[in-house]
Structure 1
């Protein structure tokens, strides 16, 4: 979604200050400290590019709003607060948990200029991305704020609208209250409860098997929360038994060849609220085999076409396995 014009095709003078400011974040949701950053950026540059991170992914308790919904809230906030929306452009960029250089490239393409001023809060380890653009000038905030989106989300889930109102603008508050009346919000509350119950049991360690034949992969829809109904790499003993059955039908040489790959899906934040790691193994088959109950052959194109239908980081993990990204 775009607000204002697209990236400029004209070159920038190397002796002139950058005309473009960049603000990268998930904005889940946008709060008043973000608003102050936007104001600061627009006071010193002609154009501001707001990069919406974690785009095109399934809703989670940590990322409850889609990039389209976040963009809508930002546009409403900008208009309501009297900003010149022609000076702001919104760009959505997905996560690349297992290939950070690809994420950096995606952000650079979205911004569309070589020189820029990067604005942001250096608050904790999650702010590491600010150092991934060394050729961009960095402008820290000229103010202090204790606001954080985590507290705002918790207040929203508790329907403590008085606390939310203190942290966000009226436009964002109205949007969040509308969202809280949707089935999607009810699903998040159910996931939140399930995550808390799982977290009490300690770290989750699972193993999954991904079978790929030609242009399709064998996946299974999740029957439990979190992520109920989302596509996932089949996990558990049944997945391994299915793989063993397939290899017996084909040949044991499959296990001894380079037709399989393995990697641990363990990116921080892949399952917000849980310490969940999945040891995933990919087997490439010469043809499809009958799927086990609850599983289905899904086109590989779904990884790019509908990544929001995949659980956690499974779309990215599958891509990493298929393309053999470095571990």
Structure 2
């Protein structure tokens, strides 16, 4: 018997395979900690539900006795395994005894299960996969429906969808977020289909500009899907005859009309960082080169939204940590890398 059993997942949404793992954890330990990943993100077709909504799905499937033994902890995506593992360990340590016996429940589905090997000292409670359902199939059926046809669309998968999940899905389909997520899902599907006949999966290259001035940072609000209405740093795809530097300056000018001389931008450049996590973009494998500029205490450059930006704004750095759920893809983590946002909390 373990003192604590750990279950890690995204649960987007909760299905019967998740519950089988959770019940195994409850059977093996006095208390169970569930780590809900991809927390604090903006809603997307891949991450449509808040961590609290996912906790509700899990808890609604359990008895009162089992709920009393369960702790649910949200952990953000860091797009960096070492940082993520440290965050998970720190979260668990706050809720476990220093020398307690800890088990980690899971099964090796594919490459995304490699995290199970990242926690030496926790004993692996290995389970076989329970059925062949995954959350992607549920999301595809869900967003391929309409609010009035959701129940029928999910019926072929009914055996894999717990009542608590089904109830939330049907309720959510009649709420304000479903239509926008469905539009994003349709856009992303057509985007991927356009490249389906390529001889190899494409790898996209983008650039981003993190522009700091007077302890504020320049942000845009995206005008189009994916991420319509979400905050981002200015940036975009590199063009065929451009260098990364040229693309960065062009995208900054096109989206914000920031017209500083190139020499000033070169003098303000602090560093360039590559963000290449395979899951950082739902559009496909996308590697970005983020350029970090610091203009110090110079006057704030005049800016105006254009191109892919619906809005452009200078935002105080001190406010960014509380805006995490408003950001597109990994742009909050990009800012965190340069500005240390989460270390300020």
TM-score (norm 1): 0.84
Please give the alpha-carbon distance, in whole angstroms, between the structure 2 residues aligned to 1:316 and 1:289.
Answer: 24
Structure 1: gaps of 5 or more residues: 1-16
Does the Cα contact within 8 Å between 1:221 and 1:230 map onto a contact in 2? yes
1:245 to 229, 253, 259: 259
Determine whether 1:314 maps to 2:324: no
CA-to-partner distance for each residue in 1:119-169, whole Å, 9 max, x for gaps? 012111111111110110001115642121111211222331203422121
Q: Output the aligned Cα RMSD.
A: 2.3
Pair 1:26–1:62, CA change in 2 (3 A): same
Pair 1:143–1:291, CA change in 2 (3 A): closer
Residue 298 of structure 1 corresponds to: 315
Pair 1:253–1:135, CA change in 2 (3 A): same
Q: Which moved more, 1:155-164 or 1:128-137?
A: 155-164
1:214: how far off? 3.5
Residue 118 of structure 2 corresponds to: 132
CA-to-partner distance for each residue in 1:156-210, whole Å, 9 max, x for gaps? 2233120342212112111111111122111111001111233344454332212
**Pairwise mapping of residues 160-171 of structure 1 onto structure 2 (< 5 A)?**
160-171=153-164
Determine whether 1:66 maps to 2:50: yes
Residue 233 of structure 2 corresponds to: 233
Q: Which moved more, 1:51-60 or 1:135-144?
A: 135-144
1:88: how far off? 0.4
Determine whether 1:172 maps to 2:156: no
TM-score (norm 2): 0.80
1:104: how far off? 1.3
Does the Cα contact within 8 Å between 1:152 and 1:163 map onto a contact in 2? no
Determine whether 1:109 maps to 2:90: yes
2:33 to 45, 49, 52: 49
Residue 93 of structure 1 corresponds to: 75
Does the Cα contact within 8 Å between 2:107 and 2:128 map onto a contact in 1? no
Please give the alpha-carbon distance, in whole angstroms, between the structure 1 residues aligned to 2:48 and 2:212.
Answer: 31
**Pairwise mapping of residues 118-267 of structure 1 onto structure 2 (< 5 A)?**
118-141=104-127, 144-158=130-144, 159=150, 160-202=153-195, 203=202, 204-236=204-236, 237-240=250-253, 245-247=259-261, 252=263, 255-256=266-267, 259-267=269-277
Does the Cα contact within 8 Å between 2:221 and 2:232 map onto a contact in 1? yes
Greater strand proportion: 2
Please give the alpha-carbon distance, in whole angstroms, between the structure 2 residues aligned to 1:164 and 1:65.
Answer: 19
Secondary structure of the structure 1 residue equivalent to 2:76:
coil
